[in-house]
Amino acid sequence: MIKNDLYLRALRGETVERPPVWMMRQAGRYLPEFIALREKYDFFTRCQTPELASEITVQPLRRFPLDAAILFSDILVVPQAMGIDFKMKESVGPWLDTPIRTVGQVEAIEVPDVNHALGYVFEAISMTLDKLDSSVPLIGFAGSPWTILCYCVEGRGSKSFDIAKSFCFTQPEAAHLLLQKITDTTIAYLKRKVESGVSAVQIFDSWGGMLSPEDYQEFSWPYIEQIVNALSPFAPAVVFGKGCWFALEEMSKSKAAALGVDWTIKPELARSLVGDQMVLQGNFDPARLHSSPEVIRKMVHQMINRFGKERYIANLGHGILPNIPVENAEAFIRAVVEWTPEN
Is 206 labelled a binding residue? yes
- Kindly name the residue from 9, 25, 63, 306 that is annotated as catalytic: 25
| Calpha distance 80→94 (Å, rounded) | 11
> Is residue 342 over pLDDT 90?
no
Number of other residues whose CB lies within 10 A of the CB of residue 289: 22
> Is residue 129 over pLDDT 90?
yes
Over the stretch 3-61, which tens digit does the pLDDT of each residue have? 999 999 999 999 999 999 999 999 999 999 999 999 999 999 999 999 999 999 999 99
pLDDT band at 90 (very low <50, low <70, confident <90, very high): confident
311 is catalytic: no
- Kindly name the residue from 9, 38, 156, 334 that is annotated as catalytic: 38
Over the stretch 236-277, which tens digit does the pLDDT of each residue have? 999 999 999 999 999 999 999 999 999 999 999 999 999 999
Kindly report the three-state secondary structure assignment for every residue of 166-182. Answer: HHHHHCHHHHHHHHHHH
pLDDT band at 91 (very low <50, low <70, confident <90, very high): confident
Domains, the chain, with CATH or none: 6-337 (3.20.20.210)
pLDDT band at 290 (very low <50, low <70, confident <90, very high): very high
pTM of the model: 0.98
- Kindly name the residue from 5, 67, 74, 205 that is annotated as catalytic: 74
Over the stretch 146-160, which tens digit does the pLDDT of each residue have? 999 999 999 999 999
Is 134 labelled a binding residue? no
Do the bridges between strand 69-70 and strand 87-89 make them parallel or antiparallel, or are there none, so unpaired? unpaired
85 is catalytic: no
Is 25 labelled a binding residue? yes
Residue type, 223: Y
Is 311 labelled a binding residue? no
Do the bridges between strand 93-95 and strand 237-241 make them parallel or antiparallel, or are there none, so unpaired? unpaired
Is 26 labelled a binding residue? yes
25 is catalytic: yes
- Kindly name the residue from 9, 29, 156, 334 that is annotated as catalytic: 29
Is 74 labelled a binding residue? yes
Is 30 labelled a binding residue? no
CA-nearest of 265, 231, 229 to 247 is: 265
Cα atoms in the 13 Å half-sphere on the side-chain side of 170: 10
271 is catalytic: no
Residue type, 123: E
Is 334 labelled a binding residue? no
216 is catalytic: no
- Kindly name the residue from 7, 30, 151, 216 that is annotated as catalytic: 151
- Asked, as a colleague might, if the bond just before 283 is cis with ω within 30 of 0, I would say yes
